[in-house]
């Protein structure tokens, strides 16, 4: 019963649990330099070594909605590319054998995490994996930042020019 009495006070003070701006950067599995603010939707990314020999990497996406209404989120809207040792740029794609990656609507003040595998048409060693997130938030009037690239750094990948 006490919780019900504190609920209006917490709401008035803005202390309810939920997503707060830039909170996606607080996790060690993403690189804060990959942070993108797309209006209501905020995202940050991390790359990990591939889960399977035929994959390029595992993409970790942390996301949060800073608004008080749902917002669109679609990983299929990211354009992925890889750069090989010779400097050739080739497309990468999300591994989605059960068609589970689709448009989502992130609830007001909600947050989440998605982990997906990335694959090139042919297995090869990449020196960079680049992301263009322009289509990740369909309908957003807020422009994304420029495309960015992850480069290998020891056992993980980091955002570097």
Domains along the chain with CATH numbers: 18-159 (2.60.40)
Confidence of residue 8 (pLDDT cuts 50, 70, 90): very low
Confidence category of residue 60, pLDDT binned at 50, 70, 90? very high
pLDDT at 6 over 50: no
Residue 156: which pLDDT band, with cuts at 50, 70 and 90? low
> What value does the mean pLDDT take over residues 7-22?
55
Give the C-alpha separation, 67 to 160, whole Å.
30
d(CA 19, CA 22): 9
Q: What is the DSSP letter of 140?
A: -
The model's confidence at residue 161, banded by pLDDT at 50, 70 and 90, is low
Q: Average pLDDT over the chain, rounded to whole?
A: 84
**What gap in Å lies between CA 91 and CA 122, rounded to an integer?**
10
Residue 134 has pLDDT above 60, yes or no: yes
Query: What integer is the mean pLDDT of 72-88?
Result: 93
pLDDT at res. 4: 41
Please check the confidence at residue 124 and state whether its pLDDT lies above 60.
Answer: yes
Please report which confidence band the pLDDT of residue 158 belongs to, taking 50, 70 and 90 as the band edges. Answer: confident
Give the number of other CB atoms < 10 A from CB of residue 80.
Answer: 20
The pairs formed by 83-88 with CB atoms below 8 angstroms and a separation of 24 or more are: 83/126, 83/127, 83/128, 83/129, 83/130, 83/149, 84/124, 84/125, 84/126, 84/127, 85/125, 85/127
Give the separation between CA 2 and CA 51, rounded to whole angstroms. 47
pLDDT tens, residue by residue, 37-57: 999 999 999 999 887 888 999
Based on its alpha-carbon atoms, the radius of gyration of the chain, rounded to whole angstroms, reads 18
């Amino acid at each position: 019963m006490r919780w019900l009495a504190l609920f209006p006070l917490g709401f008035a003070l803005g202390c309810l649990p939920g997503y707060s701006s830039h909170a996606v950067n607080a996790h060690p599995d993403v690189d804060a330099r990959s942070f993108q603010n797309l209006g209501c939707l905020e995202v940050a990314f991390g790359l990990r070594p591939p889960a399977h020999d035929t994959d390029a990497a595992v993409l970790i996406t942390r996301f949060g909605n800073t608004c008080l209404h749902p917002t669109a989120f679609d990983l299929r809207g990211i354009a992925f590319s890889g750069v090989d040792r010779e400097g050739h740029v080739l497309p990468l794609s999300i591994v989605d054998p059960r068609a589970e990656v689709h448009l989502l609507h992130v609830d007001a003040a909600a947050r989440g995490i998605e982990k997906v595998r990335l694959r090139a048409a042919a297995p090869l060693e990449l020196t960079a994996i680049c992301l263009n997130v322009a289509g990740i938030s369909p309908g957003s009037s807020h422009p994304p930042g420029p495309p960015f690239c992850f480069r290998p750094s020891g056992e993980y990948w980091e955002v570097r020019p």
